């Protein structure tokens, strides 16, 4: 029993809700307040990750089926520390950016509440708790998506809500089935599926698992429920799209990990048709995302398509059901979260400073905004997976994991698809870089105005860029940590 | 850990590059001196390693943890040779750069990336495992991109685009090969690869690994059919950069190919034959392209491709010579020594030639042979320097190129002798030998062509302009490094028994030299014959083809060089680019978009179905006309203060529309609402059986608060309403399932 676990969940929720009643109309006060909340929250999360034991803490018990229980394990640590850290950078960035959007108080309210919901997802010890915070996250990020209130963003918000509810409900329905056959509703390493209870219903359970994963896959942008992502992410304000793409999609991934590795157990799935279907879906998504990003001309939409593809790298790693693939998936979760934050933040800076939204308009932008575009370039290289950046380390483990697992043709098809996608990634990101930094000899250097964004925007990007490269150079501790988790659940 | 000099060799230029950038922001001159200092120190460090390596055989350094494992550097004979050559070339070009770049923009950027590339390139040659190799290979690819595009002219931009995509593509395919290799043998340490691969029973996986790995390395080295970037990128890059690209960066690719051919597939007959085929095409194709070129640097670039073909021939021949079971690889040394020496020679020759071409460009800003013709007519020093390069590259005896070409030639000849009783195999190798000799002839012809054009002939139109810069066409520092780079070539060629042969033996451990090399009688007719044949063929080609077919009289009756190469024979423009830029993305995007939209369509249909369903149960709505008439009738009956309130509301709702649906006619009408009904009216109308339109409510207020355009507001509010209701319906369905489930469980 560790009641401290609810502090990082409740603190942001309460603090966020209080923004309106406290009438923090003064910009400085409001920013100090928000910054304090996210920083304290991060400190608590880190503290808990380092000290808290793994015993479950039940906060509320509705009936014998539904209880709200929290617990910290390896995946919780990964997810919560990552999310709350990225929240800090996005928050500081938004102090400047939100001037451009207006309606600050409403934005901060939902922005701060969201991190509470995310931590709730991270700490959830059973599927009911997870589902509660999962739906909460959907509802509180919905206003972020349609913050600008243009027709487009409202339509995107509508789509977001519809798809999210649909996905979550499929997943919830799946839980009702799974509950029948599991020994425990709580997440147990390696799963608690009871083969005796299943008896002859194996195909039913397999189908249910497939549907549950596909349902949660909606948040992670997995085909076939991916369509909300390319319309939802680009319309949100840049800091919100950064965390939507970087962190919220990972909530879907975490939910899939919980279902596959903590409820069902991969031994039940390994080698079945479910695994092959999921592998095919993820690989298709990887290819589709990159391909459409390659063809997309709208800057932020291109990045959103890229997220579709990259998050499915993570899912592919999970679907290999091999310890190394799992390690690769976790590494890529971190790598993509950081990199996609940088990319969206730098896209946001460009839009904020120059109002250019199409990639074709970005000629010479690297001369005008060197720091922003340097961060963008390094992040692009990391996303393509060029050593020694973090993207390479994750790709290494994903590919080796796939090659060493026993998944038939996907053994070779998987790594090959990842590399094709990486090539396309280079095509859609590096072309921006080359136009930005090498505008041609006829570029008007004399009339050029330096429009670099200010420190609120650049410092978060620089910190993230250092991390994006640093995690690649010094990946050993992370690899050890994830191998440990993989050892427990497989 | 290990020998600390190795990481210093790698990280000193990388760290110094950042310092150079910072200095350059304050003082350009200091930056240039700093860059010179950095490269000289680097060269000194590399040279200082020679005694250590001779004494210890091989030195190591491990930097751990790095990545998920470590960085592992190793220096043995071969790597030591290439470390020294790389740093030497960087030193020469950097010193030359100061003058060459004097009037360039963005020089700071160039120096930053040039020094970074040096660190990465040295690291590639010092790598002790394939992962370290790959890491720095990719770093080098990206930093050298900036060197290629530096001019930012359209040609440079296009060429660098090709360069970078080939790099990324090659890098990724190579990575696939590395995955396969690692998955097959479980280690990537270069020293262990040979034994681990020899122990693999199933060769199929190794062939796959080799075939994929060679894409990246071959692409970098300019191997056919991935050579397309080379003739385009080298001419447009600044001359010091082209010297490095051509002299050193292509060799990093060759280094990778050596690892494949001498470590992974040591003495593999099949691999040797496949590689030989590619090598011969590369060798001949490059020379053929060079013959037709009328651009000074393009000729040199094509020549690089051709020379890489020579090196690859040597590498493949050592595979083939080793594979022969009867002779136990007695003549293996020909291939090994030929490869090492030709790599070294080619680097040094191209250094000299590209820097000389740089001097031409620096003065004239032109490269077309007709424009630069006669530039060197009255410049004896440059004439001498370029001449040394030409004599070395065509394999003139007593210059360095002769030794390595002879070794490669002998390797093929030995193979013909070994197979003298197998008719077909001997024939094949005889063909290879004749192509080899013919390519040597082509080399002679195209080098003679540019040498005569630039240095022997007078310019047809403006020789005064060409002579205007006599005596001041380069400064002392540049002249010094150019002369050094030129003198090295005859020096090695004259003292080959004391210099080149020991060097090749020093480096041969890396290629697992089998047994002891024989003493080759380089200065006897048996060896000289090959060179003589090449030179003779070259002379004939020059006289018969270049002077006759590739020159024509222009309108003023002057003889000019003409570009006789048909434009449509360009696999980059007519195959690769359309395929990669248009065809494949179109197909890919079409297929994925179609499949990806399936859910969208299902979603939309579902949404429509929901509304159709909802409308089915909607009660009758009033006819708009009737509604408005009724309102008008009611209006005068209202109390004065109520009227005032309505007037105020009118302003707010002025442009609001009212949508009505006449069920009998199944017609929707949208009309502006001219007056605002108030609650009393509605009450009346409700009594009369009308369904009253709903205007107030939470959503309308929400929309009104956050917008100023009433039309937008109305749209927004209706969209919001629809969204919420659709979302909520799904949500409620979910909750209902939960409720039902809880009930069944608790009962």
B378-396 pLDDT, tens digit per residue, is 888 888 999 999 999 988 8
B480: which residues sit within 8 A by CB, 6+ positions away? B95
pLDDT for A331 equals 93
In terms of residues, how long is chain B? Answer: 747
Count of CB atoms situated within 10 Å of the CB of B120: 25
Question: Which residues 58-117 in chain A show a CB within 8 A of chain B?
Answer: 63-66, 103
Residue with the bigger pLDDT between B631 and A108: it is A108
In degrees, rounded to 5, the angle at the alpha carbon of residue B238 between the alpha carbons of residues B234 and B239 is 75
If pLDDT is split at 50, 70 and 90, which confidence band does B727 have?
Answer: low
Is residue B679 pLDDT above 50, yes or no? no
Least trusted range by pLDDT, from A56-70, B144-158, B175-189, B332-346: A56-70
A 10 A CB-CB count for B470 gives 12
Residue A378 pLDDT greater than 90, yes or no: yes
Please report which confidence band the pLDDT of residue B564 belongs to, taking 50, 70 and 90 as the band edges: confident
Strands (DSSP E) found in A13-146 = 57-61, 67-70
Which among A154, A294, A441 has CB closest to B153? A441
Name every chain A residue with its beta carbon within 8 A of the beta carbon of B730.
162, 165-166, 169
**Rounded to 5 degrees, what angle do the CA atoms B347, B352, B353 make?**
95
Most confident of A186-190, B118-122, B675-679: B118-122
Q: Which residues of B touch A475 (CB under 8 A)?
A: 67-68
Whether A384 and A290 have beta carbons less than 8 Å apart is answered as: no
B262 close to B318: Cβ distance less than 8 angstroms: yes
Confidence of residue B703 (pLDDT cuts 50, 70, 90): very low
CB contact under 8 A, A419 and B734: no
Q: Return residues 387-416 of A near B (CB < 8 Å).
A: 387-388, 392-393, 395-397, 399-400, 403-404, 415-416
- CB contact B105 to A (< 8 Å): yes
Taking 90 as the threshold, does the pLDDT of residue B645 lie above it?
A: no
| Interchain CB distance below 8 Å, B67 and A473 | yes
CB A270 within 8 A of CB A197: no
What integer pLDDT is reported at residue B275 of this predicted model? 92
Mean pLDDT computed over every residue of chain B: 81
Which of B67, B589, B706 has the CB atom closest to A472's CB atom? B67
Distance linking the first and last C-alpha atoms of chain B: 70
A381:B142 CB<8 A = yes
- For an interface test with B, which of A387, A398, A430 has the most B Cβ atoms less than 10 Å from its Cβ? A387
Q: Return the H-helix or E-strand segment holding B669.
A: strand B667-672
Nearest to B600 among A166, A168, A227 (CB): A227
A438–B contact, CB cutoff 8 A: yes
- Check B737 against A386: CB less than 8 A apart: no
Contacts of A371 in chain B (CB under 8 A): none
Q: How far apart are CA A395 and CA A421, in angstroms?
A: 11
Q: Which residue has the tokens 């994925």?
A: B592
State whether the Cα torsion A262-A264-A267-A270 is positive or negative: negative
Residue B596 Cα to chain centre, angstroms:
32
Give the best residue of A128, A135, A165, A433 to mutate against chain B (max B CB count within 10 A). Answer: A165
Is B502 at the interface with chain A, CB within 8 A?
Answer: no
Q: What number is the average pLDDT over the span A321-334?
A: 92
Place of tokens 């002025």: B654
Could you tell me the pTM of the whole model? 0.85
* Nearest partner of B235 among B367, B381, B81, B400, judged by Cα: B367
Q: Please list every residue in chain B whose beta carbon sits closer than 8 Å to the beta carbon of residue A400.
A: 179, 182-183
**What is the spatial distance between Cα B399 and Cα B403, in angstroms, rounded to a whole number?**
8
Please determine, for residue B38, whether its predicted confidence score (pLDDT) is greater than 70.
yes
Residue-wise pLDDT for B426-451, tens only, equals 888 888 889 999 999 999 999 998 89
Nearest to residue B673, comparing CAs of B665, B663, B681, B664? B681
Would you place residue B420 in the very low, low, confident or very high pLDDT band (cuts 50, 70, 90)? low
- Sort out which chain B residues have CB atoms less than 8 A from A176's CB and list them: 737, 741
Distance CA B646, CA B577 (A): 68
Rounded to whole angstroms, how far apart are CA atoms A288 and A297? 16
Distance CA B78, CA A34 (A): 60
For chain A, the average pLDDT equals: 88
C-alpha to C-alpha distance for B278 and B41, rounded to whole angstroms: 39
* Res A281: pLDDT: 92
Report yes or no: B72 and B60 within 8 Å, Cβ to Cβ: yes
- CB neighbourhood size of B555 (10 A): 6
Q: Which DSSP string do the residues of B121-180 spell out, in sequence order?
A: HHHHHHBSBHHHHHHHHHHHHHHHHHHHHTT--HHHHHHHHHHHHHHHHHHHHHHHHHHH
CA distance B7 to chain A (A): 15
Nearest to B134 among A387, A393, A474 (CB): A387
For residue B349, the number of C-alpha atoms closer than 13 Å in the C-beta half-sphere is 31
Mean pLDDT across A200-220: 88
Q: Do B722 and A294 touch (CB under 8 A)?
A: no
B209-227 tens-digit pLDDT = 999 999 999 999 988 888 8
The candidate with the shortest Cα–Cα distance to B268, out of B197, B353, B333, B334, is: B197
For B67, name the nearest residue in chain A, comparing CA atoms only. Answer: A473
Q: Do B734 and A386 touch (CB under 8 A)?
A: no
For A245-277, write each residue's pLDDT tens digit: 989 999 999 999 999 999 888 888 888 899 999
User: Cβ atoms within 10 A of the Cβ of A14, count?
Assistant: 13
Task: State residue A195's pLDDT score.
Answer: 82
Which of B131, B142, B599 lies nearest to residue A225, judging by beta carbons?
B599
Between CA A41 and CA A46 the distance in angstroms is 9
A370 — contact with chain B (CB < 8 Å)?
no
Quote the CA–CA distance of B391 and A16 in Å, as a whole number.
79
To the nearest whole angstrom, how far is the Cα of B633 from the nearest Cα of chain A? 37
User: How far apart are the C-alpha atoms of A127 and A175, rounded to whole Å?
Assistant: 8
Instruction: Please give the Cα distance from A484 to A327 (Å, whole number).
Output: 9
What would the mean pLDDT of A444-454 be, rounded to a whole number?
Answer: 80
| Model confidence at B329: pLDDT above 90 | no
* DSSP structure class, residue A386: -
Q: How many helices (H) and strands (E) does chain B have?
A: 30, 6
Residues 6 or more apart in contact with residue A451 via CB below 8 angstroms:
A353, A354, A368, A369
CB contact under 8 Å between A422 and B172, yes or no, is: yes
Query: Which chain B residues in 165-224 lie under 8 Å from chain A, judged by CB atoms?
Result: 165, 168-169, 171-173, 175-176, 179-180, 182-183
Predicted local distance difference test score (pLDDT) of residue B615: 61
How close does chain A come to B200, measured CA to CA in Å?
17
Share of chain B above pLDDT 70, in %: 82
Strands B59-66 and B69-75: antiparallel
Gap between the Cα atoms of A264 and A318, Å rounded: 13
Provide the pLDDT confidence category of residue A345 given band limits of 50, 70 and 90: very high
B675 pLDDT exceeds 50?
no
What pLDDT does B621 receive? 46
Residue B713 has pLDDT above 60, yes or no: no
When pLDDT is averaged across residues A163-171 and rounded to a whole number, the result is 87
pLDDT at B647 over 60: no
User: Are B235 and B297 contacting, i.e. CB atoms less than 8 angstroms apart?
Assistant: yes
pLDDT at site A375:
92
**Do B726 and A162 count as a contact with CB atoms less than 8 A apart?**
yes
Scored b (16 or more CB within 10 A) or e, A194-219 reads eeeebeeeeeebbbbbbbbbbbbbbb
CB atoms within 10 A of CB B28: 15
DSSP strands (E only) in B313-431 = none
Nearest to B248 by CA among B137, B130, B395: B137
Q: Would you say residue B692 has pLDDT above 50?
A: no
Give the ipTM of the model, two decimals please: 0.91
- Using a CB-CB cut-off of 8 Å, the residues of chain B touching A397 are 68
Q: Residue A381: list chain B partners with CB under 8 A.
A: 142
Taking only residues 598 to 627 of chain B, the set having a beta carbon closer than 8 angstroms to any beta carbon of chain A reads 598-600, 603, 607
- pLDDT band of B655, cuts 50, 70, 90: very low
| A149 interaction partners in chain B (CB closer than 8 Å) | 706-707, 716
Q: What is the DSSP letter of B501?
A: H
Highest mean pLDDT among A39-48, A349-358, A445-454, B700-709: A39-48
Which is nearest to B345 in space by CA: B89, B520, B519? B89
Question: Closest to B157 (Cβ–Cβ): which among A416, A419, A440?
Answer: A440
DSSP SS3 for A474:
strand
pLDDT at A196 over 80: yes
Extract the tokens encoding A483: 């191998």
Judged by CB atoms closer than 8 Å, whether chains meet at A423 and B168 is answered as yes
Least confident of B70-74, B273-277, B337-341, B713-717: B713-717
Express as a percent the part of chain B with pLDDT over 90. 22
Rounded Cα distance, B680 and B401, in Å: 106
Confidence label for B619 from pLDDT (cuts 50, 70 and 90): very low
Question: Cβ B741–A176 below 8 Å, yes or no?
Answer: yes
User: How far are the Cα atoms of B636, B645, B653 from residue B639, in angstroms, in the given order?
Assistant: 8, 10, 21
Q: Using 50, 70 and 90 to split pLDDT, how confident is the model at A399?
A: very high
pLDDT of B656 > 60? The answer is no
| Residue of chain B minimizing CA distance to A483 | B68
Helix (H) or strand (E) holding A81, with range, is helix A74-97
Cα separation, A13 vs A6, in Å, equals 11
Per-residue pLDDT tens over the stretch B566-590: 777 777 777 888 888 888 888 888 8
The answer to whether the beta carbons of residues B138 and A386 sit under 8 Å apart is: yes
Structure tokens at A411: 């053994």
Cα atoms found within 13 Å of the Cα of residue B533, Cβ hemisphere only: 17
Q: Do A387 and B599 touch (CB under 8 A)?
A: no
What's the pLDDT score for residue B576? 82
Query: With an 8 Å Cβ cutoff, are B733 and A169 in contact?
Result: yes
CA distance B5 to chain A (A): 21
Distance CA B502, CA B499 (A): 6
pLDDT band for position A205 (cuts 50, 70, 90): confident
Measured between CB atoms, does B689 come within 8 Å of chain A?
A: no
Contact (Cβ atoms closer than 8 angstroms) between residue B400 and residue B500:
yes
Closest residue in B to A417 (Cα–Cα): B176
pLDDT at residue B137, rounded to an integer? 92
Instruction: Check A475 against B67: CB less than 8 A apart.
Output: yes
Apex CA B217: angle with CA B212 and CA B223, to 5°?
Answer: 100
Residues in CB range of B71: below 8 A, 6 or more apart: B7, B62, B63, B64, B132, B135
pLDDT of residue A336: 93
Q: In this complex, how many residue pairs, one in chain A and one in chain B, have their CB atoms less than 8 Å apart? A: 173
Closest residue on chain B to A147 (Cα): B706
Quick one: pLDDT band at residue A60, thresholds 50, 70, 90? Answer: confident
Whether the predicted pLDDT of B716 surpasses 60: no
CA closest to B740 among chain A residues: A176
Please judge whether A476 and B182 are an interchain contact, meaning their C-beta atoms are less than 8 angstroms apart: no
- B269-288 pLDDT, tens per residue? 888 889 999 999 999 999 98
Residues 151-190 of A with CB under 8 A from B: 151, 154-155, 157-159, 161-163, 165-166, 168-169, 172-173, 176
Contact A158 B139 (CB under 8 A): no
> Cα(A299)–Cα(A181) distance, rounded to whole angstroms?
47
> Which pLDDT score, from 0 to 100, does residue B1 have?
67
State pLDDT tens for residues A78-97. 999 999 999 999 999 999 88
Q: Kindly report, residue by residue over B84-130, the tens digit of the pLDDT.
A: 999 999 999 999 888 888 888 788 888 999 999 999 999 999 998 99
User: Can you give the C-alpha Rg of chain B in angstroms?
Assistant: 38
């Amino acid at each position: 029993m560790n009641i401290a676990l609810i502090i990082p969940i409740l603190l942001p929720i309460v603090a966020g809700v209080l923004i309106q009643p406290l009438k923090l109309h003064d910009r400085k006060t409001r920013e100090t307040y928000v910054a304090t909340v996210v920083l304290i929250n991060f400190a608590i999360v880190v503290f808990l990750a380092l000290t808290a034991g793994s015993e479950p803490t039940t906060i509320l018990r509705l009936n014998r089926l539904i209880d709200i229980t929290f617990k910290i394990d390896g995946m919780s640590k990964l997810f919560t520390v990552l999310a709350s850290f990225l929240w800090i950078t996005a928050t500081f960035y938004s102090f400047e950016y939100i001037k451009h959007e207006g309606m600050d108080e409403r934005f901060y309210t939902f922005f701060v509440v969201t991190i509470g919901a995310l931590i709730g997802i991270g700490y959830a010890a059973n599927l009911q708790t997870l589902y509660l915070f999962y739906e909460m996250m959907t509802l509180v990020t919905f206003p972020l998506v349609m913050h600008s209130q243009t027709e487009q963003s409202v339509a995107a918000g509508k789509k977001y809500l519809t798809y999210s509810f649909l996905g979550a409900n499929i997943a919830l329905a799946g839980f009702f089935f799974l509950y029948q056959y599991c020994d425990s509703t709580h997440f147990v390493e390696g799963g608690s599926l009871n083969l005796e209870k299943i008896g002859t219903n194996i195909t039913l359970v397999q189908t249910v698992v497939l549907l549950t994963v596909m349902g949660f896959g909606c948040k992670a942008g997995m085909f076939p429920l991916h369509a909300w992502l390319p319309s939802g992410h680009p319309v949100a304000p840049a800091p919100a799209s950064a965390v939507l793409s970087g962190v919220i999609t990972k909530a879907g991934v975490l939910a899939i990990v919980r279902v596959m590795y903590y409820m069902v157990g991969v031994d039940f799935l390994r080698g079945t048709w479910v695994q092959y279907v999921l592998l095919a879906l993820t690989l298709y998504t990887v290819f589709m995302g990159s391909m459409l990003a390659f063809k997309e001309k709208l800057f932020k939409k291109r990045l959103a398509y890229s997220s579709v593809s990259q998050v499915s790298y993570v899912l592919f790693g999970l679907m290999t059901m091999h310890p190394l693939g799992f390690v690769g998936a976790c590494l890529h979760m971190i790598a993509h979260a950081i990199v996609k934050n940088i990319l969206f933040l730098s896209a946001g800076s460009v839009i904020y400073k120059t109002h250019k939204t199409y990639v074709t308009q970005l000629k010479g932008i690297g001369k005008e905004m060197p720091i922003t575009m340097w961060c963008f370039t390094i992040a692009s290289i990391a996303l393509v997976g060029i050593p020694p950046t973090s993207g390479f380390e994750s790709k290494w483990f994903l590919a080796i994991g796939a090659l060493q697992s026993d998944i038939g043709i996907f053994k070779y098809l998987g790594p090959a698809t990842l590399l094709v996608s990486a090539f396309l990634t280079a095509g859609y990101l590096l072309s921006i870089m080359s136009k930005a930094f090498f505008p041609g000899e006829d570029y008007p250097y004399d009339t050029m105005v330096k429009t670099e964004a200010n420190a609120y925007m650049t410092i978060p990007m620089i910190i993230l860029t250092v991390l994006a490269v640093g995690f690649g150079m010094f990946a050993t501790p992370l690899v050890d940590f994830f191998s440990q988790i993989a050892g427990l659940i497989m | 850990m290990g020998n600390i000099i190795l990481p210093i060799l790698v990280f000193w230029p990388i760290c110094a590059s950042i310092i150079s950038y910072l200095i350059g922001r304050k003082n350009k001159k200091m930056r240039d001196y700093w860059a010179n200092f950095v490269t000289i120190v680097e060269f000194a460090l590399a040279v200082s390693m020679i005694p250590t390596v001779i004494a210890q055989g091989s030195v190591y350094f491990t930097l751990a943890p790095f990545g998920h494992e470590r960085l592992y550097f190793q220096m043995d004979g071969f790597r030591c040779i290439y470390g020294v050559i790389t740093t030497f070339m960087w030193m020469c070009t950097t010193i030359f750069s100061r003058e060459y770049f004097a009037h360039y923009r963005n020089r700071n950027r160039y120096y930053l990336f040039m020094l970074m590339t040096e660190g990465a390139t040295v690291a590639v040659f010092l790598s002790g495992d394939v992962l370290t190799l790959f890491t720095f290979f990719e770093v080098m690819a990206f930093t050298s991109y900036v060197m290629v595009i530096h001019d930012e002219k359209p040609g440079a931009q296009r060429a660098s685009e090709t360069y970078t995509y080939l790099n990324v593509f090659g890098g990724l395919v190579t990575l696939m090969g590395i995955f396969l290799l690692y998955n097959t043998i479980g280690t990537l340490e270069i020293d262990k690869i040979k034994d681990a691969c020899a122990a693999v029973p199933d060769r199929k996986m190794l062939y796959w690994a080799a075939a994929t790995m060679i894409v990246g390395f071959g692409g970098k080295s300019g191997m056919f059919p991935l050579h397309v970037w080379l003739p385009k990128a080298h001419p447009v890059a600044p001359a010091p950069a082209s010297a490095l690209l051509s002299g050193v960066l292509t060799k990093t690719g060759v280094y990778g190919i050596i690892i494949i051919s001498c470590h992974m597939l040591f003495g593999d007959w099949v691999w040797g034959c496949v590689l030989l085929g590619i090598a011969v095409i590369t060798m001949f194709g490059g020379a053929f392209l060079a013959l037709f070129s009328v651009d000074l640097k393009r000729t040199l670039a094509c020549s690089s491709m051709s020379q890489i073909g020579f090196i690859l021939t040597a590498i493949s021949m050592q595979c083939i010579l080793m594979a022969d079971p009867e002779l136990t690889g007695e003549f293996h040394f020909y291939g090994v020594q030929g490869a090492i020496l030709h790599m070294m020679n080619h680097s040094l020759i191209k250094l000299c030639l590209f820097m000389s071409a740089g001097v031409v460009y620096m003065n004239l800003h032109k490269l077309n042979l007709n424009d630069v013709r006669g530039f060197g007519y009255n410049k004896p020093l440059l004439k001498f320097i370029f001449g040394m390069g030409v004599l070395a590259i065509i394999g003139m005896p007593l210059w360095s190129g002769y030794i390595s070409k002879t070794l490669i030639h002998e390797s093929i000849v030995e193979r013909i002798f070994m197979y003298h009783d197998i008719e077909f195999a001997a024939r094949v190798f005889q063909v290879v030998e004749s192509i080899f000799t013919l390519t040597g002839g082509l080399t002679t012809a195209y080098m003679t062509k540019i040498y005569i054009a630039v240095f022997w002939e007078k310019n047809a139109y403006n020789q005064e302009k060409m002579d205007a810069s006599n005596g001041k066409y380069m400064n002392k520092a540049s002249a010094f490094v150019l002369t050094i780079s030129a003198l090295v070539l005859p020096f090695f060629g004259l003292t080959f028994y004391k210099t080149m042969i020991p060097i090749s033996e020093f480096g041969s451990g890396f290629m697992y030299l089998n047994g002891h090399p024989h003493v080759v009688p380089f200065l006897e007719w048996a060896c000289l014959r090959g060179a003589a044949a090449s030179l003779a063929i070259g002379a004939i080609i020059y006289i018969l083809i270049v002077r006759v077919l590739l020159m024509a009289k222009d309108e003023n009756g002057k003889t000019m060089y003409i570009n006789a190469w048909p434009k449509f024979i360009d696999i980059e423009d007519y195959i690769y680019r359309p395929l990669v830029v248009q065809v494949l993305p179109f197909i890919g995007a079409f297929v994925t978009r179609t499949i990806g939209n399936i859910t969208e369509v299902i979603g939309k249909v579902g949404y429509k179905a929901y509304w159709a369903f909802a409308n089915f149960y909607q009660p009758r709505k009033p006819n708009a006309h009737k509604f408005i008439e009724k309102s008008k009738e009611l209006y005068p009956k209202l109390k004065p203060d109520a009227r005032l309130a309505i007037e105020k509301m009118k302003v707010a709702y002025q442009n609001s529309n009212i949508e009505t649906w006449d069920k009998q006619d199944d017609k929707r009408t949208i009309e502006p609402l001219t007056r605002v009904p108030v609650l009393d009216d509605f009450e009346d109308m409700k009594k009369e059986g009308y369904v009253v339109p709903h205007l107030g409510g939470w959503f309308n207020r929400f929309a009104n608060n956050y917008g100023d355009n009433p039309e937008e507001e109305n749209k927004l509010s209706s969209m919001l309403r629809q969204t919420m209701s659709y979302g909520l319906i799904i949500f409620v369905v979910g909750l209902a399932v939960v409720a039902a489930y809880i009930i069944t469980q608790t009962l």
